[in-house]
Amino acid sequence: MSDAIALKHVAYRPAKEFAIRDLTMTVQSGAIYGFLGPNGSGKTTTIKLILGMQDADDGLIEVLGHQIPQGAPQALARIGYVPEKVHLYASLTVGEMMDHHRAFYGTWDAARADELRRQFSLRSEQKIERLSKGEAGKLMMLLALATQPELLVLDEPTDGLDPVVRRDVLGALVEYVSTRNATVLVSSHLVHEQERVCDWVGVMDGGSLIAEMPMNTFRSGIKRLRVSGAPPVLPAAPFTLLGRTTTAGTEEEWGVRGWQPDMGAWLTAQGATLREVIDLDLEESFVELLSSARTGGAS
Instruction: Report the interface residues with another protein, using CB under 8 A.
Output: 51-53, 73-77, 81, 83, 85-92, 96, 99-100, 102-105
Minimal distance, residue 199 CB to another protein, in Å: 25
Q: What is the DSSP string of 175-194?
A: HHHHHH--EEEEEES-HHHH
Closest CB to another protein among 140 and 242? 140
Residue 48 vs 180, nearer CB to another protein: 48
Q: Look at the chain and count its residues.
A: 299
Rounded least distance, CB 78 to another protein, Å: 8
Q: How far is the CB of 101 from another protein (least distance, A)?
A: 8
Cβ-based nearer residue to another protein, 129 or 276? 129
Least distance CB 77 / another protein (angstroms): 4
| Nearest distance in Å: CB 147, another protein | 9
By beta-carbon proximity to another protein, the closer residue of 90 and 110 is 90
CB of 293 vs another protein, minimal distance in Å: 29
- Round to whole Å and give the CA distance between 162 and 74: 35
User: Angle formed by the axes of helices 133-146 and 163-180, to 10°?
Assistant: 10
CB nearer another protein, residue 57 or residue 162: 57
Name the H helices within 104-162. 110-119, 133-146
What whole-number distance in Å separates Cα of residue 207 and Cα of residue 79? 24
Per-residue b or e along 65-94, where b marks 16 or more CB atoms closer than 10 Å to that residue's CB: ebebbebbeebbbbbbbbbeeeebeeeebb
Q: Which residues contact 65 (CB under 8 A, 6 or more apart)?
A: none
What distances in angstroms separate CA 290 from CA 28, 120, 241, 255, one per listed residue? 24, 37, 13, 11
The nearer residue to another protein, 87 or 118, going by C-beta atoms, is 87
